[in-house]
Structure 1
Amino acid sequence: MAPDPLALFDSGPQTLIQDDQGGVVYRPGWLDAAQAQRWFERLRDQIPWQHQRRMMYEREVDVPRLMAHYRHDDPALHPILKVALRSVEQASGVAFTSLGLNYYRDGQDSVAPHHDRLEDLMPGYPIVLLSLGATRTMRISRQQPPRHRIDIDLQAGSLLTMSYASQLQYLHGIPKQSAALLPRISIAFRVRPRAPASPSPPLPRPTAP
């Protein structure tokens, strides 16, 4: 059963950052605990998680988490992701085209401070993060003076909405933690730019008679 979008407001949204595009807003309790746990367990066990490597400081390193990515119209989209997509779209009024999943297996899995690649986002549209599983701390920090930092505990069943404008001013990340932590899954809903149309192939040159 899809969550009631009105429950977002019953749980008390918290505005962490203000800007003219909606800022950064945290909404705990969007999913009840039992449903969030069911979604976590099924996605943990049924998503074909990928282990990736990336270049960093001139050497190839492991990405410290598992990942998966789907387009909104992907035939392989998991049924839970279909329900989550419809529900988040209804709550936000945005038609998202991309779902990015991260699986943090323990406290050592992390993501470094970053902003989303602006060329991969449609200007003016937000990013929405749904958290499942164990609570993890997200660190949000301003890139330019006056610098300040916000640490927010992302609970299971919560939504975090980040405006496009916030990506211009702030970095966000999930730092490593030395404490033993249970796994967490995040689902990021984004609007990607449309791929440019493929150019028409050149017409063959006429041959001489």
Structure 2
Amino acid sequence: MQTLLFEQSVQRIADDTTGPIIYQTGVISPALATSWFDALREHVDWHAGARMMYERMVDVPRLHRHYALDDPSLPKALRAACAVVKKQVGAPFNSIGLNCYRDQHDSVAPHNDKLHELVPHQPIALLSLGATRTMVIRRKLPPHLKTELELEAGSLLLMGWNAQLHYDHGIPKLRRPVGPRISVAFRVRPGRGVA
């Protein structure tokens, strides 16, 4: 089965000095994106979370799950997705984080990945499945340049390790209805087997 399309577009958000951050559409076909979305939505043991904010416990506004690549319970769809992303990016990913945004009310606040939890100089790759959602990428230092990306199903956002030093990224809540989306984040974590 061919997973790569010939109708791809590439957008460079940040250069190699502060990034890179690169957005590419059409990394997998719409049919394959739908198939993986359905499989993950149905078969992943999704977790809800809560955290302390403003001196009270609040629900985390999305569902989440994490897998090590060598986890025997890793869903087949994630194993296949990792093979495609590794071929596209060329990084030795060993960790997969999932976020499920159920509707327009789910979000993630602007943040950057914690560098102590990553192998230095290895990229982070985000594969989008399901409904299109807006990601806001904002430079931390002046000028606080902001980019809004519409993350389509089957697209890949590649962020360099050093981009975490210079940019925050987040998925804001929306005022209009939107369907569910799953973000599949591939990372290289220290102290884990690399495949």
TM value normalised by structure 1: 0.88
Give the Å deviation of 1:20: 3.8
Q: Give structure 1 stretches of 5+ with no counterpart.
A: 196-209
Q: Give structure 2 stretches of 5+ with no counterpart.
A: none
Match of 2:3 in 1: 3
1:27 equivalent to 2:24? Answer yes
Match of 1:166 in 2: 163
Deviations 1:18-74 (A, max 9, x none): 124861000001111111111111111111100111122222110000000000100
- Bigger Rg over Cα: 1
Contact 1:11 1:27 (8 Å CA) reproduced: yes
After superposing on structure 2, the runs of 4+ consecutive aligned residues of structure 1 that deviate more than 3 Å are none
Distance in 1 of aligned mates of 2:113 and 2:127: 16
Deviations 1:83-109 (A, max 9, x none): 111111111111101000000000000
Specify which of 161, 174, 177 is matched with residue 177 of structure 1: 174
Structure 1 residues 136 and 22: alpha-carbon distance in aligned structure 2, compared to 1, 3 A threshold: same
1:84 equivalent to 2:81? Answer yes
Distance in 2 of aligned mates of 1:90 and 1:13: 16
What's the secondary structure of 1:150's corresponding residue?
strand
Match of 1:67 in 2: 64
Identity of aligned residues (%): 49
Contact 2:3 2:32 (8 Å CA) reproduced: no
Amino acid across the alignment from 2:71: D
Specify which of 80, 100, 114 is matched with residue 103 of structure 1: 100
Superposition RMSD in Å: 1.5
TM value normalised by structure 2: 0.94
Contact 1:21 1:164 (8 Å CA) reproduced: no
Listed as ranges, the matches of 1:90-169 within 5 Å are: 90-169=87-166
Distance in 1 of aligned mates of 2:91 and 2:18: 13
Q: Which moved more, 1:33-42 or 1:61-70?
A: 33-42
Distance in 1 of aligned mates of 2:136 and 2:115: 20
Q: Which moved more, 1:51-60 or 1:100-109?
A: 51-60
Contact 2:19 2:166 (8 Å CA) reproduced: no
What's the secondary structure of 1:43's corresponding residue?
helix
Give the Å deviation of 1:16: 1.0
Match of 2:47 in 1: 50
Distance in 2 of aligned mates of 1:118 and 1:55: 22
Distance in 1 of aligned mates of 2:2 and 2:69: 17
